[in-house]
A and B are shown apart, each in its own frame.
Chain A
Amino acid sequence: MSVAENQAAAGRGSARAVAILSSLGRFLVIAVTTYLGLLAVTFFIGRVIPIDPVLAVLGDRAPTAVVERTRREMGLDLPWIEQFYLYVKAALRGDFGTSVLTTNPVMSDIRRVFPATIELATLGTIIGAVIGVPLGVLAAVKRGSLIDQVARIVGLIGYSVPIFWLGLLGLVLFYAKLQWIAFPARLDVVYEYTFTPITGFYLLDAAIQGQWDVFYDAWRHIVLPAALLGYLSLAYISRMIRSFMLNELAQEYIVAARAKGLSERRIIWGHALRNAAVPMVTVIALSYANLLEGSVLTETVFSWPGIGLYITNSLQNADMNAVLGGTIAIGSVFIAINLFSDLLYRLLDPRTKTG
């Protein structure tokens, strides 16, 4: 390479670095703005909802003087703009107050329950993507064939049958009758005392510590709910992938690829799916985010101590700190997933890199 070419290459390299930095900066701005918006909305909901936080803490028999004092201590006598400022400040520190129900700081509750949900949702999404993507591709490639029909029916059932019903049926069959899986919970009671989680993801923790009996037990507990959530996202992912693939397979570059003499396998997986990967990332990310917030029913049926169950319980007990804290936690993860899929977008589609 000549000196001039070297310089040109270096110039391109630094230009690229600047582009990456500026897009990272833009991401950061978007993330912060969205997060502030989330805080504002939750704050607003917290004020509008007809629940008196003082009443929730003290009960309805407290003397007026105590009520007044508590109100001041909680900062409820301040102007709302100042309250919002304090709220944001505390939220940025990760301080969402104390849960009335559990008497723990909300943040430590979330640290305990959120990993349970994330573990379940992650496993579910992995199952959904690993099966859903190939199923969708095959359905598109062999359009109108038996496999397309099967995929359609599988998807239809996944859409329309309530998940808690499937969950109950699954429990009756695999737990009560066949005894292949463990009862609804995260872990057997025996292990509750011998096992100390590190990250809160039990499968991971057990593997790190080499406690394979715990790993196996955790697996027996998680497999059915994860499979159900996996089925739910599989139904969605495979339908979307099918339509993305049909769209790509009709493009002219596919004709060109055939004219080049490429194998069908190479055309489908190397060209069409590679192009369909861009919207695919969005679909999988959305389905993942959906599982993170929306698996309350599954968590209820399987007594899964996750954030859905936590928020529902808190809501029923008018525990607003916990509800808002949980909402913000879910929202934050939502923002993070969206940013991540945006980044992936940029990696997958060269057309989004510049400009």
Chain B
Amino acid sequence: MSDTLLEVDDLRVTFPTRTGLVQAVRGVSFSLRRERLGIVGESGSGKSQTGRAIMGVTPPQAEVSAKKLAFDGMDLLSMSPRERRALRGSRIAMILQDPKYSLDPVMTIGRQIVETLRTHEKVSKAEARERALAMLQAVQIRDPARVFDLYPHEVSGGMGQRAMIAMMLVTGPELMIADEPTSALDVTVQLDVLKILDKLVAERGMGLIFISHDLRLVSSFCDRVVVMYAGKVVEQIKASELRDAQHPYTRGLLNCMPRIGFERHPLPVLDRKPEWAA
């Protein structure tokens, strides 16, 4: 078995719309070992759709194609929906942006965690509860037994996102796709949640795809960075070398980052050249 966890070659996602076909993702390729890969780009660059296509949760009208889309040597596109579903939530997991919307509002947090577990493993109710509580503990929720019985609207955003992480990690997946996991949270809570995510990913030796528009966050948190623009990868670079990025688009993004002690006036405008998207 090779140590490549995920291989993506020429991934395309197309949406039919009233005004014709819209290509959200246009030939994205990268491969992932058990490492932390960041995908950055502005809104509409196709980074989220890339994550969802790998996960297999694109809307039904979207068309997903690729020369190769393989997880652990298994071709994701040719397998049956049932096989694909069995992977989702057990070996590949996903965290969404805002726990306010991504947790079912009428189901207690505990039941939502237990639901993931019991979908993929034959465990008794009592054991599932135990493991859910342990998972809540692992995401540093101090009073797991209480939070277990709470509804999503009864907890804060940071707590909700930890519950979301718990719900997705309880089965011990090998690949985690985190789609803007901290963008909806208060800045003070962002770091807490990131630390928890970082720790769990490191402990369990998982592969992580971290989708974000926050360049600074990605560069400090990931090993490698994929920069996307208009549905394409414009640059792949080690996070530590991001400062020396070559592509003008990446340079443009870097340029927009504010620095303490420096006046930015007027704010730079991102350069967008059609040939980068060609």
Given contacts A350-B151, A350-B153, A351-B151, contact A261 B101 (CB under 8 A): no
Complex Cα–Cα for A221 and B101 (A) = 50
Cβ-based interface call for B89 (8 A): yes
Q: Which of B10-18, B23-31, B112-120, B193-201 contacts A (4 or more CB under 8 A)?
A: B112-120
Complex Cα–Cα for A351 and B104 (A) = 12
Cβ-based interface call for B90 (8 A): yes
A-side interface residues toward B, CB under 8 Å? 5, 251-253, 255-263, 266, 271, 274-275, 278, 348-351
- Give 29 CB contacts A-B under 8 Å: A252-B97, A252-B98, A252-B102, A253-B103, A255-B52, A256-B104, A256-B164, A256-B167, A257-B104, A258-B88, A259-B88, A259-B94, A260-B116, A260-B167, A261-B85, A261-B88, A261-B90, A262-B115, A263-B85, A271-B107, A274-B104, A274-B106, A275-B106, A349-B105, A349-B106, A350-B106, A350-B153, A350-B154, A351-B153
Contact B168 A348 (CB under 8 A): no
Given contacts A255-B57, A351-B153, contact A261 B86 (CB under 8 A): yes
User: Which residues of chain B come closer than 8 Å to A274, judged between CB atoms?
Assistant: 104, 106-107
**Which of A259, A349, A351 is B89 in contact with, Cβ under 8 Å?**
A259
Complex Cα–Cα for A258 and B115 (A) = 12
Against A, the Cβ 8 Å flags (1 = close, 0 = not) of B142-176 are 00010000010110000000001001100000000
**Which of A252, A278, A349, A351 is B101 in contact with, Cβ under 8 Å?**
A252
Pair count A-B, CB < 8 A: 79
Complex Cα–Cα for A275 and B112 (A) = 14
User: Which residues of chain B come closer than 8 Å to A349, judged between CB atoms?
Assistant: 105-106
Given contacts A252-B96, A255-B57, A351-B153, contact A261 B120 (CB under 8 A): yes
Minimum CB–CB distance from B188 to chain A (whole Å) comes to: 24
Contact B102 A258 (CB under 8 A): no
Given contacts A259-B89, A261-B90, A351-B153, contact A253 B115 (CB under 8 A): no
User: Which residue, A251, A255, A349, has most C-beta atoms of chain B within 10 A?
Assistant: A255
Minimum CB–CB distance from A278 to chain B (whole Å) comes to: 8
Minimum CB–CB distance from B181 to chain A (whole Å) comes to: 12
- Top 5 nearest A-B pairs by Cβ distance? A261-B89, A261-B88, A252-B101, A259-B94, A260-B89
User: Which residues of chain A come closer than 8 Å to B145, judged between CB atoms?
Assistant: 5
